[in-house]
Amino acid sequence: MNRCIADERLEETGFSYTLSLINGKYKMTILYTLMEFKVVRFNDMKRYIGTISDKTLSSSLQELVEDGLVHREMYPQIPPRVEYSLTEAGQSLIPILDGMCEWGDVHRVKSG
C-alpha cells in the first residue's frame, strides 16, 4: 500500500503524543535525573540541572505529574519535604532515555 504524505496526520501518531509529554527544554533532563537517582527533592534537582529557574522547574515538574510520568510525594512536616520519582509510565521511558544516552555517547565522540 502506497502512503501519501498529504493524507498523513502526524498529530495523530504515537510519536506526536510521546513528544507532547516530554517536549520542553528541561523535561527530558528531569526524567533523566529521576531515572538516575530514583527519588529526588526539588532543591537537589535544581542543583543537578544547574541552569533552571525555580519557576521553570516547578512548572515542568507539575506538567510531568499531571501527565502521569512523575509522582510527587509531600510529607507533612516542618519544613515541608517534597520528593519526586518516576511513575510506572515514567519508568517505561527508561529504555528510550538509555537509547538516547547511548546514541549521544557514540556520536559525541565522533563529532568531537
Count how many Cα atoms sit within 13 Å of the Cα of residue 80 in the half-sphere of its side chain.
Answer: 6
Asked whether the beta carbons of 49 and 26 are under 8 A apart, the reply is yes
pLDDT surpasses 90 at 88 = yes
Domains and CATH numbers, the chain: 10-111 (1.10.10.10)
The helix (H) or strand (E) run that includes residue 40 is strand 39-41
Confidence (pTM): 0.83
Q: What is the pLDDT of residues 11-57, one digit of tens each?
A: 778 888 888 888 889 999 999 999 999 999 999 999 999 999 999 99
Stretch 103-110: mean pLDDT, rounded? 82
pLDDT surpasses 60 at 98 = yes
